[in-house]
Amino acid sequence: MKSIIMMGTENELRTLFDKFKGKATIIGPKIPNGEIAIRYCELNDYSEIPREVEDDQEPGKYKLMQGKFFRHGFDSPKKYMFPSTLKIIRVEKELEVKPYNYDPKETVFFAIKPCDAAAIKIMDKTFTWNKDAYYNAQRGKITIIVENCIKPGKTCFCATMGTGPRATENFDIAYTKINGKVLFEAGSIKGEKILMEIEVLKPASNEVIIEFIKVMDEAYEKAKAPFTTINLPEKLEINIANENLWKELSEKCLGCGNCTMVCPTCFCFDIYDESHLDEHVDRVRYWDSCFTYRYAEVARGHFRPEIWAMYRQWILHKFSYWKKQFNILGCVGCGRCITWCPAGIDLRENVKKASIGV
Amino acid sequence: MKIAIFKFASCSGCQLELLNLEEELLEIAGKVEIAYFVEASRKLMKGPYDISLVEGSVSTPEQLEELHKIREESKYLIAIGSCATAGGIQALRNWAQLEEYKKIVYLNPEWIKTLEKSTPLSEHVKVDFEIRGCPINRKQLLWVLSQIIVGREPFLPTHSLCIQCKIKGYTCVLVTRGEPCLGPVVMAGCGALCPSFQRPCYACYGPSDLPQTIKLAQQFTEKGLSKKDISLLFKKCESWTPKFKEVVEKYE
Question: What ipTM did this prediction achieve?
Answer: 0.95
State whether A261 and B152 contact (CB < 8 Å): no
Instruction: Name which of A74, A276, A294 is nearest B171 (Cβ-Cβ).
Output: A74
Same domain flag for A283 and A179: no
Are A176 and A163 contacting, i.e. CB atoms less than 8 angstroms apart?
no
Residue that is last in its domain, among A222, A245, A273? A222
Rounded Cα distance, A276 and B131, in Å: 17
Rounded Cα distance, B184 and A343, in Å: 10
Look at chain A and report how many structural domains it folds into.
2
Q: Is residue A227 in some structural domain? A: no
Q: Predicted confidence band at A358 (pLDDT cuts at 50, 70, 90)?
A: very low
Asked whether the predicted pLDDT for residue A219 surpasses 70, the reply is: yes
Same domain flag for A10 and A159: yes
State whether B159 and A253 contact (CB < 8 Å): no
Computed over its alpha carbons, how large is the radius of gyration of chain B?
A: 19
Same domain flag for A236 and A212: no
Helix, strand, coil shares of chain B, percent, nearest 5, are 45, 15, 40
Adjacency order of strands within the sheet including A107-112: A39-42, A25-30, A107-112, A142-147, A173-178, A181-186, A6-8, A202-203
Q: Which domains does chain B have, with CATH numbers?
A: 2-149 (3.40.50.700), 161-251 (no CATH)
Same domain flag for A54 and A187: yes
Each residue's pLDDT, cut to its tens digit, for chain B (252 residues) gives 999 999 999 999 999 999 999 888 888 888 899 999 998 888 999 989 999 999 999 999 999 999 999 999 999 999 999 999 999 999 999 999 999 888 988 999 999 999 999 999 999 999 999 999 999 999 999 999 999 998 999 999 999 999 999 999 999 999 999 999 999 999 999 999 999 999 999 999 999 999 999 999 999 999 999 999 999 999 999 999 999 999 999 998
Phi and psi, residue A143, nearest 5°: -120, 135
Which pLDDT score is estimated for A357?
Answer: 57
Instruction: Name which of B168, B171, B175 is nearest A342 (Cβ-Cβ).
Output: B175
Residue of A256, A266, A269 to mutate, testing the B interface (most B Cβ within 10 Å of its Cβ): A256
Same domain flag for A273 and A175: no
Q: Measured between CA atoms, how close is A257 to chain B, in angstroms?
A: 6
Counting every residue written for chain B, the total comes to 252
B150 touching A (Cβ < 8 Å): yes
Percent of chain A residues past pLDDT 70, beyond the cut: 99
* B42 dihedral zone (left: phi>0; alpha: psi -120 to 50; beta): alpha
Q: Is residue A162 in some structural domain? A: yes
Q: Output the CA angle B18-B142-B66, nearest 5 degrees.
A: 55
β-strand pairing of A173-178 with A181-186 = antiparallel
Q: Predicted confidence band at A2 (pLDDT cuts at 50, 70, 90)?
A: low
Out of A82-91, A237-246, B23-32, which region has the weakest mean confidence (pLDDT)?
B23-32
Instruction: Name which of A39, A61, A277 is nearest B175 (Cβ-Cβ).
Output: A61
Same domain flag for A144 and A283: no
Residue that is last in its domain, among A222, A243, A277? A222
Q: Is residue A316 in some structural domain? A: yes
Rounded Cα distance, B42 and B47, in Å: 16
Torsion of CA A220, A223, A226, A228, to 10 degrees: -60
Which pLDDT score is estimated for A17?
Answer: 98
Residue contacts between A and B (CB atoms, under 8 Å) = 128
Asked whether the predicted pLDDT for residue A62 surpasses 90, the reply is: yes
Same domain flag for A42 and A182: yes
Q: Is residue A144 in some structural domain? A: yes
Q: Is residue A149 in some structural domain? A: yes
Same domain flag for A163 and A58: yes
Are A219 and A26 contacting, i.e. CB atoms less than 8 angstroms apart?
no
Structural domain span for residue A250 = 232-356
Query: What are the b/e assignments for A14-36, b being 16+ CB within 10 Å?
Result: ebbbeebeeebbbbbbbbeeeeb
β-strand pairing of A181-186 with A6-8 = antiparallel
Same domain flag for A188 and A321: no
Q: Is residue A325 in some structural domain? A: yes
Residue that is last in its domain, among A222, A247, A265? A222
Same domain flag for A209 and A297: no
Q: Is residue A1 in some structural domain? A: no
Q: Residue A77: what residue type?
A: P
8-state DSSP, B42: S
Same domain flag for A263 and A130: no
Q: Is residue A171 in some structural domain? A: yes
Same domain flag for A218 and A236: no
